[in-house]
Structures are given as C-alpha cells and as structure tokens.
C-alpha cells in the first residue's frame, strides 16, 4: 500500500509520513511525493499566523524549544516557504530533535542547496549583520584602528606554524581562491593569505591583515564547514578584530580609551589616562585613521559608559552570523560552533542531552540559534542565492 493510501482513505498520518519519507529516500526527485508530504504536514498542523508569532517569540527566549521548532517547520512547509522550513529542520537536526519528516526534508534540502555565491552584501546589509550589542561607537573606533596595529601588536606567525616568506599563498592557489571567494561576499579585498601548520583559520595583525589557513583544512572539514570558518574570518577582516585575540578585556579597554584621548585628552572613562600611550598610538595610526576616530571618540566621551567586554562578545556573535550565512547549511554551521569549545574536548555531538546542555551553557550557541530563524537571516540567504526552493 502506498503513502497516498495511508494519507487519504485510511487516515493514518503516522504511517503515511513514514511511507512518504521512504519514497523520498528512494527517489528525492519525485515531485508528487514531495507535494504529498507537504499536503500531509498541512493537514496535520493547524497553526495561524498569530500563533506562529507566538512560537517565534518563545524561541527568542528559549532557542532550543522543540515544540515551537516543530510548529514553525510544519507551518512553513504547509505554505511552501521551503527555505524557512529547511532552516527550521536544520535547527532541529542540530538539536537531535528532528522527526522523520523533518529529517527527510532537511536531507533533501541539502542536496538542492547551492555551493557557491557570486553575490555581495551591500553596506546597509553588512551593518545589519553586526549584532545589536556591538552597534556602538566602540565598534566604529575599533574598525578605524584595527588595521593599524602591526607595530604595537606585531603578528606572531610562528605560533601558528607560518613561515612568512615560504607560506604566503599566491592568488591563483586553490586555498587562496577559496578564502577570497568568501571574503568578496563581505566586500573585503585587501589582505594576505598564508598556509599554516598549527591552526584551522586565524587572523593576524600584519599590514594588511592576514588570514592563516590550516594546510589540512580541506581534509578535516567538508565544504560547508570550511565556509563557516572562512565566513567568520572574513567578517573579522572587515571589522578589523584581529588584535582582540591578543588582548585581555582590560588591555583592550586601555587601547580603546587611549585612542579616544588622542582627540579627547580629558576623557576619564575606559581605563586609566596614559598620555604617553596616546602619543604612541597617534604615531602608529595613519592620518586617515586619526581622522576616522574623531567622531566615535567624541561620541564615546559625551555618551553613556559602554561595556567593552560585551562589545567584544557581540563582535564574536557577529562573526558567527557571517559564517552561518556563507555556510548555507544551518545544522553544519551550528555543529561547527558547538565543536569550537576547547573546554569540552569530550563533547559528543550525537548525544542530544550533551547538545542541549551545551546550548544551555553557551550564549554564543543560543545567539546563533536565534539568528538562524530570523527574518534578517532569511533575507540575506535569498540575496546570496543560498536558499532551498
């Protein structure tokens, strides 16, 4: 008996779902089967747009709430918003909470997902990509000075296993092309690429800034995972955040505060006043950078106190967003972020309890889960041609 028989005359939705999934597994290109599964989901779930908003509001508070994720998937599948349904199924797959229909829908969507994009985000889209917690004058200040710090915070290529003379990659190398294809999405053009022996993907404070890519990146990670790592690095290039990995929060606060004092010498916030440090910074910065920091310095000096630690965290969350966008596959991007935790080397990503425990513990995972179901994310996927139809 076929899936249609279960779905209509016998009214057995559970067996019908199983049969549809089996049919799709055997032949994912059968349009009638796909339409039948969508119709079954539509009949199974009664959800109005108002209740859909309620589910999305709940997920902003509890990003791993499985019931709401199931509801979003079924509604979006019912109204043929396939890319949104694919993303919801991807989140459920990451959380090890997907049912048979969601697992099949996600697997089929992965096969339809484009591998490359030639699109480029506009300036307003790039600004919107930045997490709200980093949209402040501190971020503007950092972006103005972050590419000017090679003399004060020199690159340590040796720690990454890079020989600067031997390991600089030419533009026509496969690895360099991969990095630049992702960087162009974010409008980043001026940087150098090095092959490294002791890192996956990392940034260094050379002038121009450098991306150091592990020589075994392609062997250890699939294409989607590579894109996630390269997307994070590309936004770091754009936002000039390479220096942050070298500094504690206290040191970053001193750097930013003394940069403000180049234009606002009486400023008493952000660390202790150090006229000598401000002079050294002014000497290190180009005239263009000195001019660029005038406006954010004034805003910082006249505005409310800003939280440097939170801004740095939010810049990291912004980079995660960029990685997820160019990755295309929500489950793969989230899984990469889950595994990016040196404090939990024994984490089993196949264990639902451990995954949910990590989500509860780590804010960066919750932030990315929330973004993965946002309208901003869906719009950027469409702009770059990385959607499932």
Q: What is the pLDDT of residue 55?
A: 87
- Dihedral (CA of 234, 247, 293, 321) sign: positive
Q: Tell me the three state secondary structure of residue 201.
A: strand
Contact call for residues 291 and 298 (beta carbons, < 8 A): no
Token duo for residue 311:
């801004």
Q: How far apart are CA 163 and CA 184, in angstroms?
A: 26
DSSP states of 253-265: HHHHHHHHTTT-T
User: Which helix H or strand E contains 214, and what residues bound it?
Assistant: strand 210-214
Looking at residue 5, its pLDDT comes to 47
Amino acid 35: pLDDT = 53
* Residues 6+ away with beta carbon under 8 Å from 350: 96
Q: Could you tell me if residue 80 is left (phi over 0), alpha (psi between -120 and 50 degrees) or otherwise beta?
A: left
- What's the confidence (pLDDT) of residue 347? 84
Instruction: Report mean pLDDT in 10-residue bins for the chain, 389 residues.
Output: 45 53 52 52 47 86 94 94 97 97 96 90 96 97 96 96 96 94 95 96 97 94 96 98 97 97 95 95 96 97 95 98 97 95 80 94 97 96 94
């Amino acid at each position: 008996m076929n899936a249609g028989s279960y779905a209509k005359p016998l009214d057995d939705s559970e067996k019908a779902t199983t049969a549809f999934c089996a049919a799709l597994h055997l032949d994912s290109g059968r349009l009638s089967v796909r339409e039948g599964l969508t119709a079954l989901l539509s009949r199974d779930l009664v959800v109005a747009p108002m209740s859909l908003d309620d589910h999305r509001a709940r997920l902003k508070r509890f990003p791993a709430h499985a019931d709401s994720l199931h509801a979003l998937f079924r509604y979006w599948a019912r109204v043929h918003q396939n890319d949104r349904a694919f993303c919801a199924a991807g989140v459920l797959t990451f959380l090890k909470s997907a049912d048979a229909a969601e697992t099949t829908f996600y697997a089929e969507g992965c096969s339809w997902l484009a591998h490359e994009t030639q699109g480029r985000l506009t300036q307003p889209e790039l600004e919107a990509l930045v997490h709200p917690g980093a949209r402040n004058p501190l971020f503007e200040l950092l972006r103005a000075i972050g590419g000017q710090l090679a003399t004060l915070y020199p690159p340590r290529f040796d720690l990454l296993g890079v020989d600067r003379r031997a390991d600089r990659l030419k533009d026509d190398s496969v690895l360099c092309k991969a990095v630049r294809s992702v960087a162009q999405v974010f409008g980043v053009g001026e940087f150098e690429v090095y092959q490294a022996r002791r890192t996956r993907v990392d940034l260094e404070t050379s002038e121009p800034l450098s991306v150091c890519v592990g020589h075994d990146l392609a062997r250890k990670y699939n294409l989607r995972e590579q894109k996630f790592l390269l997307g994070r690095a590309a936004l770091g290039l754009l936002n000039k955040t390479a220096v942050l990995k070298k500094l504690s929060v206290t040191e970053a606060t001193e750097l930013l505060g003394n940069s403000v004092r180049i234009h606002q010498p009486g400023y008493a916030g952000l660390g202790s006043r150090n006229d000598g440090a401000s002079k050294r910074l002014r000497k290190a910065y180009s005239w263009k950078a000195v001019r660029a920091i005038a406006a954010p310095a004034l805003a910082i000096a006249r505005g409310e106190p800003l939280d440097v630690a939170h801004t740095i965290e939010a810049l990291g969350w912004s980079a995660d967003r960029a990685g997820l966008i160019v990755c295309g596959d929500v489950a793969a991007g989230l899984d990469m972020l889950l595994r990016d935790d040196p404090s939990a080397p024994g984490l089993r990503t196949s264990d639902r309890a451990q995954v949910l425990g990590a989500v509860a513990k780590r804010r960066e995972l919750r932030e990315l889960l929330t973004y993965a179901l946002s309208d901003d994310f869906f719009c950027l996927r469409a702009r770059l041609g990385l959607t499932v139809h």
